[in-house]
Amino acid sequence: MNELSQFPLRRMRRLRAHDFSRRLVAENQLTVDDLIYPMFVLEGSGRVEEVSSMPGVFRYSIDELVKEVKECEALGIPLIDLFPYVEADKKSLHAEEAYNPDGLIQRAIRAIKAECKTIGVMTDVALDPFTTHGQDGIIDDNGYVLNDITIEVLVRQALSHLEAGADIISPSDMMDGRILAMREAFEKAGFVNAQIMAYSAKYASCFYGPFRDAIGSSSNIKGGNKKTYQMDPANGAEALHEVGLDLQEGADMVMIKPGMPYLDLIRQTKDTFHVPTFAYQVSGEYAMQMAAIQNGWLEEKATIMESLLCFKRAGADGILTYFSKRVAKWLAEE
């Protein structure tokens, strides 16, 4: 600090006194280019179902999903992220439906790409929507998720998404070595420009509950947990190790999940690796804000915008948020 810049020579409130000067010196800004919209798709036609634990978030049949994506494209949202709601009869121990070329996600990708020419499509790669037990991988007789066998299925799932037209693959499974396996498979198959946004530091968090409702896996996991593969919330240095490994294995972008409780990891990741770094404002974060907003305890727009701006301040290049569409509308109005 400059010792000469003391009160009253330096009055910190001077630059806060007017709207124009606050705007001039703002260190970070939120734009539509920072938004990634997570979206849920289900079977059928003409179906739009609200997720009970996530007010204002819906599951869409493919025809309705395409309409929604078109609106997002018109608003300038650069990227959507697709998640499936899988019916019980399509779930299995070995998640075969995950790589079905005519599966729900694969058909949704093709439908979106046929109608929407500029918006990017990212897909979640993990097995929890497709397993009868709700875990992100193939389990042994003791319920332990088997790493290497799971990777084989994940690679098949990822390739099926690329073949359908996906732009970005986003592995959220937290298996060791899956980024390298996918990158090598993509190169071999000719998908040399396929992008990978790795869930590099995904924590075993209690903030995921509403999401499991949204994809229909909460009843499958039946009170179980994912602590043998997702990260311990107590650990920070381990997250940087995970990020470094994913980058070495071929990830183009990395993600920290959840978001707001882990702002310190976003900043540390950005400062350490200087790579595209993203945050996921997860379902529990969304649900908490919506509960307070609907009860009149917090102001809607101001609260949401502040919550997203803090990710930018922490170093995130973009945010996966269920608020994407309404924020894009607010930004367009400004």
What is the pTM for the complete model shown? Answer: 0.94
pLDDT value of position 126 = 95
Answer whether residue 82 shows pLDDT above 60.
yes
Residues marked active site are found at 202, 257
pLDDT above 70: residue 230 = yes
**pLDDT averaged over the chain?**
95
In this prediction, residue 3 has a pLDDT band, given cuts at 50, 70 and 90, of: low
| pLDDT at 214 (0 to 100) | 78
Look at residue 75 and tell me whether its pLDDT is greater than 90.
yes
For the stretch 112-152, pLDDT in tens is 999 999 999 999 999 999 999 999 999 999 999 999 999 99
What does DSSP say about strands 195-202 and 48-50: parallel, antiparallel, or unpaired?
unpaired
User: Poorest-confidence range of 70-79, 221-230, 259-268?
Assistant: 221-230
pLDDT at 222: 63
CA distance 231 to 238: 8
Q: What is the DSSP string of 54-88?
A: STT-EEEEHHHHHHHHHHHHHHT--EEEEEE---G
For residues 133 and 139, the answer to whether their CB atoms sit within 8 Å is yes
Tens-place pLDDT, residues 27-61: 999 999 999 999 999 999 999 999 989 999 999 99
Model confidence at 217, in pLDDT bands (50, 70, 90)?
low
Residue-wise pLDDT tens digits, 260-306 = 999 999 999 999 999 999 999 999 999 999 999 999 999 999 999 99
Q: How far apart are CA 145 and CA 84, in angstroms?
A: 21
Burial string for 291-327 (b: 16+ CB within 10 Å, else e) reads eebeeeebebeebbbebbbbbbebbbbbbbbbbbbeb
- The pLDDT tens digits for 168-203 are 999 999 999 999 999 999 999 999 999 999 999 999
Question: What confidence tens digit (pLDDT) does each residue in 87-116 have?
Answer: 999 999 999 999 999 999 999 999 999 999
